[in-house]
């Protein structure tokens, strides 16, 4: 019941965020959506996710208000749109072709129910010595997943720094 109320609140707030006239009220309604999501995680008994969601939401709201609200950045629309569209379509076709080969080998979706997760729940404390089972799965059983996550974050940092740098190296000389 509470979950449905929160979902209704989130839908209303997101509609308001899209339809609001000025940017500040839109950002505030977006943060209300994030707060509702945090409460929904708490009701569904996932405190780990609730902490992360709340903290990231605060940082996102601060960045949105402080950095992007004063003046919006110019968007580059013209130029090589034809080449970009072609390369994106090519990449999608290649990805789907390789995925169709790879996905044939996997078992059906949800076929042996609780086969892997039952193992995690039963033996995670003895095997890893971790009381927090979420951390046990994220950083011990699936640690390379976390490594890939860190690599994605590092690539994102490098991309932001490359886009927002002051001047190109060639112009300085």
Partner 1 sequence: MKNNQTGMTLIVKTITRLTVGLILVYGIYIVLQGHISPGGGFAGGVIITLSFVQLMLAFGKDTALKKVNQAKCIFLSGVAAFIFLILAVCGFVTGHSPGFRDGHSTFFSAGLVPFCDIAISVLVGSGLFVIFLALVLLTQEQE
Contact residues for partner 1 (CB under 8 A)? 47-48, 50-52, 55-56, 58-59, 62-63, 66-68, 70-71, 125, 128-132, 134-136, 138-140, 143-144, 146-147, 150-151, 153-154, 156-157, 160-161, 164, 166
- The alpha helices in the chain, defined as continuous H runs, are 2-19, 23-43, 47-63, 81-103, 115-128, 133-136, 143-163, 169-172
Using CA atoms, how far residue 94 sits from 37, 84, 86, 97, in Å, is 36, 15, 12, 5
Closest distance to partner 1 from the beta carbon of 28 (Å): 17
Pairwise CA distance, residues 26 & 20, whole Å: 6
Nearer to partner 1, 12 or 139 (CB): 139
Nearer to partner 1, 118 or 148 (CB): 148
Closest distance to partner 1 from the beta carbon of 139 (Å): 5
Q: Are 27 and 64 in contact (CB under 8 A)?
A: yes
Nearer to partner 1, 73 or 113 (CB): 73
Closest distance to partner 1 from the beta carbon of 79 (Å): 21
Spatial CB neighbours of 53, under 8 Å, sequence gap ≥ 6: 34, 37, 38, 41
Nearer to partner 1, 11 or 146 (CB): 146
Nearer to partner 1, 13 or 57 (CB): 57
Rounded-to-10 torsion of CA 73, 35, 10, 23: -30
Pairwise CA distance, residues 119 & 15, whole Å: 42
| Secondary structure letter of residue 113 according to DSSP | T
Closest distance to partner 1 from the beta carbon of 155 (Å): 10
Closest distance to partner 1 from the beta carbon of 157 (Å): 4
């Amino acid at each position: 019941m509470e979950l449905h109320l929160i979902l209704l609140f989130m839908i209303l707030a997101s509609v308001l965020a899209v339809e609001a006239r000025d940017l500040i009220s839109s950002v505030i309604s977006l943060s209300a959506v994030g707060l509702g999501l945090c409460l929904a995680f708490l009701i569904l008994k996932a405190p780990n996710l609730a902490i992360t969601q709340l903290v990231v939401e605060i940082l996102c709201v601060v960045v949105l208000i402080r950095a992007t609200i004063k003046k919006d950045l110019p968007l580059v629309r013209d130029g090589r749109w034809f080449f970009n569209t072609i390369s994106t379509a090519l990449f999608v076709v290649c990805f789907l072709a390789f995925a169709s080969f790879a996905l044939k080998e996997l078992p059906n979706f949800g076929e042996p129910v609780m086969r892997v997760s039952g193992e995690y729940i039963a033996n995670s404390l003895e095997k890893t010595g971790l009381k927090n089972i979420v951390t046990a799965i994220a950083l011990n059983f699936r640690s390379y997943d976390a490594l890939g996550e860190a690599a994605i974050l590092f690539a994102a940092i490098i991309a932001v720094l490359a886009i927002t740098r002051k001047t190109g190296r060639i112009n300085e000389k």
